Structure 1
Amino acid sequence: MFKRLKINKRTALGAGAIMLAALFRSLDGIFLRPQFYTLPAVVVVFLEHILGFLVLLPWLVKRRWKIKVLSRNDWFAIIGVSVLGGLIGTVFITKAFFAAFGGQITLATVILLQKLQPVFALILARIILKEKLPAKFYVRALLAIGSGYVLAFGQDGLNVFSIQFWHHAAFYSLIAAFAFGAGTVLGKKVVNNLDFQLTAGLRFGITSILAFIVLLVTGDLGSISLLTPHHRISLVIIVFTSGALAMFLYYFGLKRVKASQATILELFRPLSAVILDYFLNGNILTPAQMTATIILLFAIYQIVKSQNKLVSFSANVVHGQGRGFHTANLDVINLELPHGIYLIDMSWKGKKYKGLMHFGYRATFHEAISTELYLANFDGDLYRQHVKVTVQKKIRDIIEFPTAEALKAQIAKDMEQVK
């Protein structure tokens, strides 16, 4: 099916996960978060994150050795995701929606400005991740964003006179849009080097700590006592829908697609909200919304359609660990590839050699990320040599083996696929 649709299976799974996460998040704004508008926003953010962290804690414990070998840049990115996407984005969008629910600002203002998130994400993906995209991608992105607006504002359309740009809550929404966009980009940087489970768990844990500090500083910690039994039930529902579960799915998807693709896929959220509105309230889509739905789905399909481009890079061969594995260790560990074992071609001094590439953590030895080549029919010394590698396809994930001998046996088995 994926071949007929010209969609890479991995990309399709990632896109589906992000769209499902968007569906869960649409529940949040419609049914769940409005129930808390009488409480300080940071209280809600703290509680949903600490509960989510407890749910995700088993994955952190199981993979704690990976946390120990994270680089400084990885920690900067994780903390950035937690500060921007976790704390600032969630607090400010919550405050903006609370202001709308309390009648201080029109809901249209909040939605209009929050929908700028993809714009911020696309700009930052280009600057930070160096994601180079063809012009037609941006055309499709604009179509998707425009369709998202039509879906979000429903049958009444957007009344420009209702937009209160200079209200403080409008700035809350704008700040949230930037923070979430930046969170998507930094999140992609994190999941390139870390499991999606760990990424979600660390984000929830660090955000919980940051939110707790804010509660202490603002003196709002006592507001937790104002929670009613109904609030507590809603918090549990948030954790297992729009909170921890949605973030778990989101990072699963983000590991498989580009940040620029992910931010467009999140536009499925207004469509899912309209669908829920139909099933729960019986509100039928207007012709304009039906047209927008078709355009949005078409744009999303075009955006996730596989490119089938081979990844190539150059690197220098450096010293390895000396464990008896006949590998060429490379000095490049920031590849825009999922961790795993790949079939590759290596070019050196005008000749090509086939083999395997390990890219990711040395799971068997609980060590940091490495890029290593296992070459077939090669007998020579590549130390300090400059080589070019072309990645053909991924054949499996990285596995933690009980012994080095078991790892060697698997490598021998993997080498049988080298032709």
Structure 2
Amino acid sequence: MDSKKTGVLAILVASLMWAIEPVLAKLAYSNADFLQTSGIRAIVVTLVALLYVLLTRQGGLKVTKRQFSTLVFMAVAGTLFADLIYFLALTMIPVINAVLIGHMQPIFIVLIGFFILKEDKLTRFDYLGIFIMIIAAILVTTKTQANLSALKLGTLADILVLLATLAWATMAIVMRKYLRQLDAGVITFYRFSIASVVLVTYLLVTSSLVLSNIYQILIGIVVGTGTILYYESLKRIKAAQTSALELSTPFFAVLFALFVLGEMVTIMQIAGIVLLVVGVCLLSKKEEAYF
């Protein structure tokens, strides 16, 4: 299988993993909190990444000082901040809300590139894509015409997911710019091992480092697999193609949430998912410029 096909397959499987993750988190919350679940998850992801590195990489876990400082940033921004508030939000909102808002990364990638990195100009397609994706988010978070009419545009949990998405977008840019040559397993290992030290320390101090259910382990396996495959895909196919293929996640998430959790999806939310696809397609060419 050539590199491009491998990249496409990798991101499709990663998308499936990320659709499963929030469903498993909801199941884990039956007798565990989000901090405990996040801690166990980080430990398991670290072990999955270590196993991957041992099986596939001859150079082991060696990194340069510059790479390590970048990995520390990814651990803090991506795992200790973004992942934690995402898991907190999942205790309050449906899976579809979390997944769709979480897939608005292209907006932030384009805006960060324009306002902070000062790269290129925004075109009418960029503005249109951003506008459509904002409408998509509003449709998903309001759910019904009654809520939309009353301007009930979302909740605090929706805002938390949006903040997590901003952090993930920042992390994606940093990873592509400074760690592109580093093995996916090594990136995943350091991102989660550094974070797990902090999380485990907290859980030990609070006497809450306990494995409460099998779902906490499954989340770690799913996230570890998905993260490694995502990083592998970024090395093989363009960022725009990765974003487009990753849009299969909301569709998978809707099915899992419906059949496993019994969460219902409204017509407005389905329309929001469709608009998300359109918005990302409009932004995809611009996203390539930053990678």
TM range (shorter): 0.7 to 0.9
Among 70, 74, 81, the alignment partner of 1:81 is 74
Equivalent pair of 1:22/1:246 in contact (CA under 8 Å): yes
Q: Is residue 229 of structure 2 the alignment partner of residue 249 of structure 1? A: yes
Instruction: Letter of the 1:224 partner, please give it.
Output: L
Residue of structure 2 equivalent to 1:235: 216
Per-residue CA distance 1:368-415 (angstroms, 9 max, x = gap): xxxxxxxxxxxxxxxxxxxxxxxxxxxxxxxxxxxxxxxxxxxxxxxx
The 1:26/1:153 distance shift into structure 2, 3 A limit, reads farther
Residue of structure 1 equivalent to 2:43: 50
Residue of structure 2 equivalent to 1:330: none
TM-superposed deviation, 1:179? 2.2
Among 109, 129, 138, the alignment partner of 1:140 is 129
The structure having more radius of gyration, on CA atoms, is: 1
Q: Is residue 56 of structure 2 the alignment partner of residue 65 of structure 1? A: no
Q: Secondary structure at the match of 1:192?
A: coil
Higher strand share: 1
Per-residue CA distance 1:99-142 (angstroms, 9 max, x = gap): x17xxxx9999789756654333333456776647622453354
Residue of structure 1 equivalent to 2:209: 224
1:5-404 equivalent positions in 2, closer than 5 A: 10=4, 14=7, 17-36=10-29, 39-61=32-54, 63=57, 65=59, 67-68=61-62, 70-98=63-91, 100=92, 117-126=105-114, 132=120, 135=123, 136-144=125-133, 146-147=135-136, 150=139, 154=143, 159=148, 160-161=151-152, 163-165=154-156, 172-216=160-204, 219-220=205-206, 222-225=207-210, 227-228=211-212, 231=213, 233-241=214-222, 243-257=223-237, 262=242, 266-277=246-257, 286=267, 288=268, 291-300=271-280
Superposition TM-score, scaled by structure 1 size: 0.54
Equivalent pair of 1:120/1:181 in contact (CA under 8 Å): yes
Equivalent pair of 2:22/2:95 in contact (CA under 8 Å): no
Instruction: Provide the rounded CA distance (Å) in 2 between the counterparts of 1:13 and 1:154.
Output: 37
Q: Secondary structure at the match of 1:143?
A: helix
Per-residue CA distance 1:143-200 (angstroms, 9 max, x = gap): 34544554566566854337445xxx56644542332222222232344121223222
Task: Report the count of equivalent residues.
Answer: 285
TM-superposed deviation, 1:247? 0.8
What is the root-mean-square deviation of aligned Cα atoms in Å? 4.3
TM-superposed deviation, 1:234? 0.8
The 1:36/1:284 distance shift into structure 2, 3 A limit, reads closer
Equivalent pair of 1:112/1:149 in contact (CA under 8 Å): no
TM-superposed deviation, 1:254? 2.4
Instruction: Provide the rounded CA distance (Å) in 2 between the counterparts of 1:36 and 1:49.
Output: 16
Give the unaligned 5+ runs of structure 1: 1-8, 310-334, 337-419
Give the unaligned 5+ runs of structure 2: none
Equivalent pair of 2:101/2:137 in contact (CA under 8 Å): no
Equivalent pair of 1:151/1:292 in contact (CA under 8 Å): yes
TM-superposed deviation, 1:34? 4.6
TM-superposed deviation, 1:53? 1.4
The 1:195/1:141 distance shift into structure 2, 3 A limit, reads farther
Instruction: Provide the rounded CA distance (Å) in 2 between the counterparts of 1:63 and 1:107.
Output: 35
TM-superposed deviation, 1:51? 1.1
The 1:24/1:90 distance shift into structure 2, 3 A limit, reads same
Residue of structure 2 equivalent to 1:383: none
TM-superposed deviation, 1:14? 4.0
Instruction: Provide the rounded CA distance (Å) in 1 between the counterparts of 2:129 and 2:9.
Output: 18
The 1:118/1:138 distance shift into structure 2, 3 A limit, reads same
Instruction: Provide the rounded CA distance (Å) in 2 between the counterparts of 1:24 and 1:17.
Output: 11
The worse-fitting range, judged by mean Cα deviation, of 175-184 and 144-153 is 144-153
Instruction: Provide the rounded CA distance (Å) in 2 between the counterparts of 1:158 and 1:254.
Output: 38
Instruction: Provide the rounded CA distance (Å) in 1 between the counterparts of 2:178 and 2:119.
Output: 15
Instruction: Provide the rounded CA distance (Å) in 1 between the counterparts of 2:32 and 2:258.
Output: 30
Equivalent pair of 1:92/1:176 in contact (CA under 8 Å): yes
Instruction: Provide the rounded CA distance (Å) in 2 between the counterparts of 1:74 and 1:28.
Output: 28
